[in-house]
């Protein structure tokens, strides 16, 4: 009986050890997957920040965005110029979103955000500001051009962006302007614009479920719109 008890005890101990090791493997695997996903998020954001700079570039350029798994998708986004009469101008600016589980990076209107909606922060802010004398509102309108494209998978993916950047400028006379930019991360965008002296509110203007951050300055300003058209093509491989 004593010998049988020892055998049973050893079997139980081995079973407990196996379960413990299995649980540890699961935990370690989860940690590694999380670290890989975070590294991918950082890598995508850094690539876009360093290589996709249409405000400073002119002509053709190529951007390679590499990640272990996930997908890069183009999204519909709009920028609107509002005044007391309503929508003065409406521009389809588009956007690019990388997602892998809870990890996310977005490029909209020249701004780059990391993190999911509600807890995102900006890696790079939009080209939008007001002069110190409060006389001129400067708005860079960065348009993507690509629509309806998804590149993704696992085991190592490269999304290739081919851009051809052109610039144009339009000045509008003094008025009470408001600039509304659609984004799925309005908290992050709103914080950055308030740091630049702009008041912000949040509003879903067209009812599509994507809110716009509406930025304004007290009083009337001249509006300088600088269009940075990237004419981007997005491909995989």
pLDDT of residue 32: 46
Indicate the range of 29-33, 51-55, 132-136, 189-193 predicted with least confidence: 29-33
Of residues 86, 106, 89, 88, the one with CA closest to residue 98: 106
Q: Looking at the predicted structure, is the pLDDT value of residue 28 above 90?
A: no
Domain-wise residue ranges, the chain: 32-236
pLDDT digits (tens, 9 = 90+) for 123-180: 999 999 999 898 999 999 999 999 999 999 988 999 999 999 999 999 999 999 999 9
Q: What mean pLDDT is predicted for residues 71-79? A: 97
pLDDT of residue 51: 95
Count Cα atoms within 13 angstroms, Cβ side, for 116.
5
Give the residue with greater pLDDT, 15 vs 154. Answer: 154
Q: Looking at the predicted structure, is the pLDDT value of residue 40 above 60?
A: yes
- Average predicted confidence (pLDDT) for the chain: 89
Cα–Cα–Cα angle for 208, 213, 216, nearest 5°? 135
Q: What is the pTM of this model?
A: 0.83
Q: Looking at the predicted structure, is the pLDDT value of residue 46 above 60?
A: yes
């Amino acid at each position: 009986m004593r010998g049988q008890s020892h055998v049973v005890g050893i079997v139980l101990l081995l079973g407990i050890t196996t379960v413990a090791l299995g649980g540890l493997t699961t935990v370690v695997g989860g940690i590694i997957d999380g670290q890989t996903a975070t590294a991918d998020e950082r890598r995508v954001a850094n690539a876009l920040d360093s290589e996709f700079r249409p405000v400073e570039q002119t002509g053709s350029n190529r951007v390679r965005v590499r990640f272990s798994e996930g997908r890069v998708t183009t999204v519909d986004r709009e920028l609107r110029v509002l005044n007391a009469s309503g929508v003065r101008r409406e521009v389809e600016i588009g956007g690019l979103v990388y997602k892998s589980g809870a990890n996310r990076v977005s490029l909209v209107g020249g701004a780059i955000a990391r993190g999911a909606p509600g807890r995102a922060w900006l890696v790079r802010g939009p080209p939008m500001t007001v002069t110190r004398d409060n006389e001129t509102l400067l708005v860079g309108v960065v348009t993507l051009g690509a629509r309806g494209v998804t590149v993704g998978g696992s085991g190592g993916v490269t999304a290739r962006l081919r851009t051809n950047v052109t610039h144009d400028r339009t000045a509008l006379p003094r008025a009470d302007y408001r600039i509304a930019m659609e984004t799925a991360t309005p908290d992050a965008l709103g914080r950055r614009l308030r740091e630049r002296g702009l008041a912000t509110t949040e509003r879903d203007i067209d009812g599509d479920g994507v809110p716009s951050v509406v930025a304004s300055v007290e009083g009337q300003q001249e509006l300088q719109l600088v269009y940075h058209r990237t004419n981007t093509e997005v491909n995989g491989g």
